[in-house]
Structures are given as C-alpha cells and as structure tokens.
C-alpha cells in the first residue's frame, strides 16, 4: 500500500483468486468501517489495484479477503470468510484480543533523513561480527540502558560494542512475528515466542522492538539505530528467515500467504500437504517465480530503505530445493541474489544446511558471492574443547581456515 497526496493505492496479486475485497479499519477498531470489492476493470492479469481517496493513514488499518476455489488436495485454500494481510505490508498490526480480525497492516511513509551517513564498507577479512538478540541484549537491568529491549536500547550500547572491538552486528530476526502465535503455560506462566524465527511479514520489522508506537512513520527508530552504527564504523547484518512462515501446516492459521496463493507460496506434496524441511510446519516455495520475486524485492527494500549491509540466511539450503523438495544444482533464487545490482555490495551468508538433511557446508552454490557459516568449525571445536579423543589435528585445521572445506584455489 502506497500513500499518495490525496489517497492510498492498494495493490495485491493472486493467481487463483476470483475476487478480492479490501477491508478498512479505524485504528484499533474491532470491525471494518468499509469493505470495498475490487472492480473487475481494476484488475490487470493477476494484479488487483485501486486508489481509495480521502483516507487518514494515521488512523487506518487494512486487510483483504479473497474468494476462489477451496480444494486443499490441490493446495487451494481460498476462503472469503477469512481475512488476510498484505504479503508486502510495511507494518504488521497484531490485535491478539480480536478473534475475527487479529492480523492487519498499516500504511506507512518514509520521512527519514539519512543526511550524509554512509556505511563503513568493510572487507570480509576485517569483520568482527557480534550476533545478538535485539530484546535480550538490553532486557536485563545490568544493561544499564533507558530503553530496555529495543532498537533504542541497542543504540545506547554502541560505546560498549566499540570497546569490544566489534565492527559488525548481526541482528537475530527482526521481521514481524506474532509473539502469541503458539503460547504455552509453564509453572503458571504464559510462555510466548521470544526468538522470532517464525516470520509473519517479511517487509515489516517487529514493532515491539521499537520503544514507542511509530504509527504511520516507517521504521524511524530502526533507521536511527542503523545510522548511528554506521557513523561509528559498525555494519549491520540481518538474520533472515525465508524458509517458512508462522502459518505452519494445514492446522495452522490464515495470516497472509495461505489465503493469497497457498499452492504457489508453499511446497506441497502431491496430496496437498506441506513439505516440512525446516521442521516448523511448512516450507516456502523459494524457487517459484512469484516467491523469488517477492524475496528479491524484500531484500532490496531492506537495503535501500534501511541501509542494511548484509543478510545471514537461516537454513539456506532450503532455498536451493525444487518444488518437490529435491536439491537443485543451480538454484535460480540464489543466482538472482548473487547477481542483483541493488544487492551488489550486500553480504550474503548461508547457514548451509536444513532440517531435511541437506548439508552443504563447503559446497553451497556461491557464484563467488555467497559466504557460509562453517558449521564444522563450531562442531569440531566443541568436541576438542570438551576433550574428545583425536580432535587435535581437526581443531588445528578448523582454526587455520578449514582448507579441507574451502581450498585456496576455490576461494578466488
């Protein structure tokens, strides 16, 4: 959704939908105040687009309903009674207390001034990367910050990071996720999703990591953090989860992709069930043209709108599978990311395995662009440090660069 001088342009696409309704809510309202069907003349191919005039985006939330065939065996889950969120939403609004309309989106505008701030542009052999969880890094009293568990709190810790000698921070997932998606009770306490490895919206950041409600302003606090880190010589890498979504398997909720084109966005078995290579219920169909396009546009947005310097891809081997789950030799998604002009200087780092048994450490498709997390370094050093027999030679090999996995002649 794009804010215009006198209205908002709402555009979505779906291959299987027969009709689409736009639902408009006042901020926090329990019911939509307007339901607007897309006229047929406002559909071009599979794209539905119209401008609605006279809207106040500071007091607006929106969602969609899609009508089409409901046939789970064919992977089709269209249901006009279900409300779903724009897959390209820049801000996800979660109303957990609302059983009928819990997921919505907000319209945002980008007003941030980066001034003359530029990224440090470090070489890989200069990087000292500190992986951290935005909330956990400053949640405790001992952090000594004012804005605990937020982007602003992390910004307060920049002097500490510099003192450590850190020049790259890798943020564990900040894509929007629902902390209440799978609550559990333990010893009288409600346990919620803390880590964020169950994304609900790829273009939106997790709003609970902001210290105040930014309403319709797009990511001002996060951009302020990135600018401050850059100004202090520190780059920013995001841990991104493109292998599955919080919608889970056939027992999971309708949030977004399931209601738009379930058979396109997810890998499905011949009987319409979900392949589960991440071990989280479903698997994104990363090499379908539509899904590949979405991921490209998403990462481009994080680079040009938020000045992010790179990405670490969770369970990245999944991104190299065919629709039937079999491994590809030259995955089009990974190649597209490697050669994309906007991502040209962004770090691309693969966690080169998945929960389905595909292990590619030392052999992940790279095009001289992709780096890897060396999982064998972690595993072998752990064995050595806890005293396993016969690990001295292997540990030395890992510490000196794992030439058995990454021969010098292959490194370019």
Catalytic residues: 314, 351
Number of residues that this document lists for the chain:
412
Q: What's the rounded Cα separation, in Å, for the pair 348 and 355? A: 20
Quote the tokens at residue 47.
Answer: 């794209």
Residue 112 has phi, psi (to 5 degrees) of -75, 140
Half-sphere exposure of 125 (CA within 13 A, CB side): 2
93 near 61, Cβ under 8 Å? Answer: yes
Q: What single-letter DSSP state applies at residue 105? A: E
DSSP string for residues in 204-269 = EE-GGGSSS--TTB-SHHHHHHHHHHHHTT-EEEEEE--S--TT-STTS--SSHHHHHHHHHB-B-
Measured between alpha carbons, how far is 307 from 226 in angstroms, rounded to an integer? 7
**Pairing status of strand 235-240 against strand 168-171:** parallel
Burial 270-287 (b: 16+ CB within 10 A, else e): eebbbbbbbebbbbbbbb
Q: C-alpha dihedral over 202, 206, 210, 214, to 10 degrees? A: 60
């Amino acid at each position: 959704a794009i804010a215009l001088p006198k209205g908002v342009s709402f555009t979505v696409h779906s291959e299987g939908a027969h009709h689409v309704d736009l639902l408009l809510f006042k901020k926090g309202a329990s019911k939509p105040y307007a339901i607007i069907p897309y006229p047929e003349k406002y559909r071009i191919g599979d794209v539905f687009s119209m401008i609605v005039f006279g809207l106040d985006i500071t007091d607006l939330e929106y969602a969609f309903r899609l009508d089409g065939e409901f046939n789970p065996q064919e992977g089709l889950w269209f249901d006009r009674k279900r409300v779903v969120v724009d897959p390209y939403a820049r801000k996800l609004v979660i109303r957990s207390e609302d059983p009928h309309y819990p997921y919505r989106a907000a319209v945002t505008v980008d007003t941030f001034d980066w001034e003359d701030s530029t990224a440090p542009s470090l070489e890989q052999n200069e990087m000292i990367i500190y992986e951290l969880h935005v909330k956990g890094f400053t949640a405790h009293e001992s952090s000594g910050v004012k804005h605990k568990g937020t982007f602003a709190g992390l910004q307060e810790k920049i002097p500490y990071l510099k003192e450590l000698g850190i020049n790259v921070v890798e943020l564990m997932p900040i894509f929007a996720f629902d902390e209440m998606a799978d609550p559990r009770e333990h010893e009288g306490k409600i346990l919620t999703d803390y880590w964020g490895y169950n994304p609900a919206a790829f273009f939106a950041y997790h709003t609970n990591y902001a210290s105040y409600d930014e309403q319709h302003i797009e990511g001002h606090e996060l951009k302020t953090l990135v600018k401050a880190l850059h100004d202090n010589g520190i780059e920013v890498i995001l841990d991104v989860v493109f292998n599955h979504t919080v919608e889970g398997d056939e027992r999971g909720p309708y949030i977004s992709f399931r209601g738009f084109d379930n058979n396109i966005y997810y890998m499905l078995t011949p009987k319409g069930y979900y392949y589960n290579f991440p071990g989280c219920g479903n698997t994104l169909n990363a090499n379908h043209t539509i899904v590949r396009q979405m991921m490209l546009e998403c990462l481009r947005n994080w680079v040009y709108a938020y000045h992010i310097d790179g990405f670490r891809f969770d369970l990245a081997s999944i991104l190299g599978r065919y629709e039937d789950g079999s491994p590809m030799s030259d995955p089009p998604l990974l190649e597209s990311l490697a050669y994309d002009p906007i991502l040209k200087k962004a770090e691309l780092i693969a966690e080169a395995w998945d929960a389905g048994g595909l292990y590619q450490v030392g052999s992940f498709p790279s095009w001289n662009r992709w780096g890897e997390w060396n999982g064998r370094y972690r595993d072998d050093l752990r064995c050595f440090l806890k005293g396993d027999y016969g690990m001295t030679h292997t540990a030395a090999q890992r510490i000196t660069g794992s030439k058995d996995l990454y021969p010098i002649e292959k490194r370019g």
